[in-house]
Amino acid sequence: MPPKRHLTARRVRLGTELRKLREAMGMKSREAAELLGADSVQMSQIESGVAGVSAKRVRRLAAHYACT
C-alpha cells in the first residue's frame, strides 16, 4: 500500500489560492497543467493540497496568472 499523503494547512491554502487565481483568469485546469509540464490530475492534487508544489512552479503560475 502506498504511503498516505498528509494534508497541511499551508498546502491547502496555497492550492486554494492557485485555483482562485486560475479561475479568475478563465483557465481550465488542463491549461495550467500544461504550463507546468504536468497533467490535469497532478494539477488537481496541487490545488487540493494533496501534492506539494515547488517554488519554481508557483512562480511560473503566478507570472502567468499576472499576480505578484
Q: How many CA atoms lie within 13 A of 52 on its CB side?
A: 7
Cell 507570472, residue? 63
- Answer for the pair 47, 41: CB distance below 8 angstroms, yes or no: no
Reported as a pLDDT band with limits 50, 70 and 90, residue 6 is confident
HEC readout, 25-44: CCCCHHHHHHHHCCCHHHHH
pLDDT at 2: 56
CATH code at position 30: 1.10.260.40
pLDDT at 1: 52
Q: What is the C-alpha to C-alpha distance for residues 42 and 30, in angstroms, rounded to an integer? A: 10
pLDDT at 54: 94
* Domain span including residue 39: 9-64
Q: Has residue 23 been placed in a domain?
A: yes
Q: Has residue 36 been placed in a domain?
A: yes
Instruction: Evaluate if residue 33 carries a pLDDT over 90.
Output: yes
Q: Has residue 4 been placed in a domain?
A: no
- What is the number of domains present in the chain? 1
pLDDT at 7: 78
Q: Has residue 21 been placed in a domain?
A: yes
